[in-house]
Structure 1
Amino acid sequence: MTSLLRALLTVVSAAGAAIVLVETLHWAVERLGRRSPLLHDLARTAHRPFLATVTIFAVQQAVRAAGGNFPGRAAVLHALVLLVIAAVAWLVAALALVLEDVALARWRVDVPDNMKARRVKTQVVMLRRVTVVAVVVLTLGVMMMTFPAVRALGASLLASAGLISVIAAVAAQSTLSNLIAGLQLAFSDSLRIDDVVVVEGEWGRIEELTLTYVAVQIWDDRRLILPTSYFTTKPFQNWTRTGSAVLGTAEIDVDWSAPVEPMRAELRAVCEGTELWDGRVCVLQVTDAVGGMIRLRALVSAHDAGSLWDLRCLVRERLVAWVFEHRRDALPRLRADVAPGEHAPVPPAAPGPAGAAGPDEDSRVFSGAGDGDERAVAFSGPDEPATPASSGMRQ
């Protein structure tokens, strides 16, 4: 009984000493963290995993030194070893998070020109996730190797490692492709966090980029979840690939009598009167003139995709309002013949001069006068049966 009490007292004393030591260090680092953001982040993030690691390690050493031989001693020590391994892995993951915060502290993404900051953020976040996955895998492997039976099994499986690796690669082909695609996206700079994209007919921004999937926040707050391999195998639009400034159009249809120059001046006034325009492009052009109407296309530019959407809507509204207020005669018109009576019969055409091609010949492409017969031979092909008419003409 005396030895048991002595062992318990030793264990409690070791745990208490570890807690006091860690809390003292935590208090000191917090005091220094008032002047250093790195130390402040370290004290906030790594406090609990560091406390768990030191305390469990102290308890393990106390049991080894003063625990004596008691029933279940081997099992208790093995459990403490497993807890120490898990606590160290937790501490390493916390330190990786601290390093991520330090790397991103100098790069702000809430500024207009944030392309480089978004690239750095994407790569750092991806590296941290890879590190966490590697730490978890290694931790599980080390914990499994502490079991003698598993260690013996691992030694026996080394001979068949090639076959097992092939089977695992085939079984996890899609998972591995997504992992590789995630790393490729992060370091090829083809896709970054907060990039504005058009994918699967949806317009949105990259909200989250992981090793296995990409979350796209649609403009109406829906979420489109796609595997990372999608962005390496299928085309998509990236509006912020080289910069956040983008161009957009607003089109309206008006009558042929619409004055283009006054509308061009109105477009310039609209752009110069709003903060949505970035001052680069403000152009009005006639891009089509069919169907009894002309199509006007206003090409404008903005700092980012969100501002561009609002600017396009504003331009469209102001141009429509200007046409309705100042030139209602230029509104789109539909022309139709509404005569109640039947049309008079058209008299037959007078015969043309001698040698001129008749109306029937002027309506033919692959027969008749000129090179119609030769064109018919060229486009019919040798394997197609000739019609009686064409056979007669060829004879």
Structure 2
Amino acid sequence: MPDPLRAVLAVLGAALLAVVVVQIVHRAVVRLGRRSPLLTDLARTAHRPFQAAVLVYAVQQGVRSAAGDFPLRGGVLHALVLAVIAALAWLVAALVLVVEDASLAKWRTDVPDNLKARRLRTQVVVLRRVTVAAIVVLTLGVMLMTFPAVRAVGGGVLASAGVVSVVVALAAQSTLGNLIAGLQLAFSDSLRLDDVVVVEGEWGRIEELTLSYVVVQIWDDRRLVLPTSYFTTKPFQHWTRTGSAVLGTAEFDVDWSVPVEDARAELRAVCEGSELWDGRVCVLQVTEAVGGTVRLRALVSARDAGSLWDLRCLVRERLVGWLREHHPDALPRWRTELSGAAAGASPGLPPPPAQTRAGDDARVFGGSPDGIARSGTFAGKEDAAPR
């Protein structure tokens, strides 16, 4: 048999053997994966890179051992070495992704109390991006070092590394700042995926957090893209810093004749009749009594920001309808005292109701266990009534 034909057959045999071995290993992992989600993810994610790495390595060994001398042998072997390095880097990246997915699978984010899950997910996503970037950089470095010319100038590059690093740092100051800010956000726990924030006057949730930018999904499905350094240099409202449950208000300017106790009872009925309310806070207070009107503030709670928005809208709708139907005289109006009216009389106002002891529905910082805890949180050396 001629030497070229024998060499081709040897290379093809090595490639065929590699494909057979990969298929056997893949089928074994798939069968074992029926009992293990980790092996299932491994078989799905790492199959292609493993096949590429084994196949390229087998071809390289076949050419090296059986091909003998032929034109461009050095260039072919060098190309195969570069392909082996790239395939191994692909395999390592796939294995890292499998490990990260396995760590995320233990924590679900579709549950009410998902604070720890969102924190871990944010950190893992950032680590994944850093790991992939590091693998790509190291792979390119190793591939470049296989060229003799690059190794020859390596000493000069290292000698001038100090000057180059200063120049690069000055040129990429903004990029490096965003990179450091992204790592800070992920590991300082100041911002997580699915957190609800108010930024630039827009209410939304953190949809994507990378090393250079943050994507905020606005409530109307718009996207607000901000650099990561924005969240480390400027203030923003964080609604889910310590938990998903939040408080919200609905305010009404009404006439002085409004029956506050009846309005408080109606608010309680609205909350108890809605599945949006989480059962923690349902309070109605008079927060202003100036300018000819009385301001009622309804404070309610919900399990998450989306439910709170709907609950606040529901409270406004029901209380407005209740006032219009049952107490139209309590709607906002202006009074004018004509000449000759009795001095000291206030026309149009009913006599004040008898004093009643305010219950839990009239106190934000007392009465219920949740209110007492909130009072302890906001109380300082000098107690001050909240406005």
CA deviation string 1:318-337 (max 9, x = no partner):
11011101111111113458
Quick one: percent identity of the two aligned structures? Answer: 77
Normalized against structure 2, the TM-score is what?
A: 0.86
CA distance in 2, matches of 1:179, 1:81: 33
CA distance in 2, matches of 1:266, 1:123: 45
- The count of corresponding residues between Structure 1 and Structure 2 is 339
Normalized against structure 1, the TM-score is what?
A: 0.84
Which residue is equivalent to 2:51?
A: 51
* Deviates further, 103-112 or 164-173: 164-173
1:3-152 correspondence to structure 2 within 5 Å? 3-152=3-152
CA deviation string 1:163-198 (max 9, x = no partner):
111111111111111111111111100000000011
SS of residue paired to 1:25: helix
Which residue is equivalent to 1:183?
A: 183
Which residue is equivalent to 1:278?
A: 278
SS of residue paired to 1:242: coil
Q: CA deviation at 1:56?
A: 0.1
CA distance in 1, matches of 2:144, 2:64: 21
CA deviation string 1:14-61 (max 9, x = no partner):
000000000100000000000111111100000000000000001001
CA distance in 1, matches of 2:78, 2:207: 43
Q: CA deviation at 1:124?
A: 1.1
* Deviates further, 157-166 or 239-248: 157-166
CA distance in 2, matches of 1:3, 1:102: 50
Which residue is equivalent to 1:267?
A: 267
The letter of the residue matching 1:60 is Q
Which residue is equivalent to 1:365?
A: none
Q: CA deviation at 1:159?
A: 1.3
CA distance in 2, matches of 1:338, 1:178: 67
SS of residue paired to 1:217: strand
1:217-256 correspondence to structure 2 within 5 Å? 217-256=217-256
CA distance in 1, matches of 2:292, 2:176: 57
CA deviation string 1:188-236 (max 9, x = no partner):
0000000001111111000011111111100000111111111111111
Which residue is equivalent to 1:326?
A: 326
Q: CA deviation at 1:72?
A: 0.8
The letter of the residue matching 2:29 is V
Q: CA deviation at 1:338?
A: 9.2
Which residue is equivalent to 2:359?
A: none
CA distance in 2, matches of 1:183, 1:329: 58
Q: For the structure 1 residues 294 and 160, does the alpha-carbon distance in structure 2 shift closer, same or farther, using more than 3 Å as the test?
A: same
Q: CA deviation at 1:151?
A: 1.6
Which residue is equivalent to 2:197?
A: 197
CA deviation string 1:240-264 (max 9, x = no partner):
0100000000011111111100000
The letter of the residue matching 1:108 is R
Report runs of 4+ in structure 1 exceeding 6 Å deviation. none
- Kindly name which structure, 1 or 2, has the bigger radius of gyration based on alpha carbons: 1
CA distance in 2, matches of 1:239, 1:23: 51
* Deviates further, 156-165 or 112-121: 156-165
CA distance in 2, matches of 1:151, 1:119: 43
CA distance in 1, matches of 2:19, 2:225: 44
The letter of the residue matching 1:16 is L
CA distance in 1, matches of 2:91, 2:212: 25
CA distance in 1, matches of 2:166, 2:128: 28
**Structure 1, unaligned stretches of length 5 or more?**
340-395
The letter of the residue matching 1:270 is V
The letter of the residue matching 1:157 is V
CA deviation string 1:345-386 (max 9, x = no partner):
xxxxxxxxxxxxxxxxxxxxxxxxxxxxxxxxxxxxxxxxxx
Provide the aligned C-alpha RMSD in A: 1.3
Q: CA deviation at 1:155?
A: 2.0
The letter of the residue matching 1:274 is S
The letter of the residue matching 1:117 is A
SS of residue paired to 1:290: coil
CA distance in 2, matches of 1:336, 1:222: 48
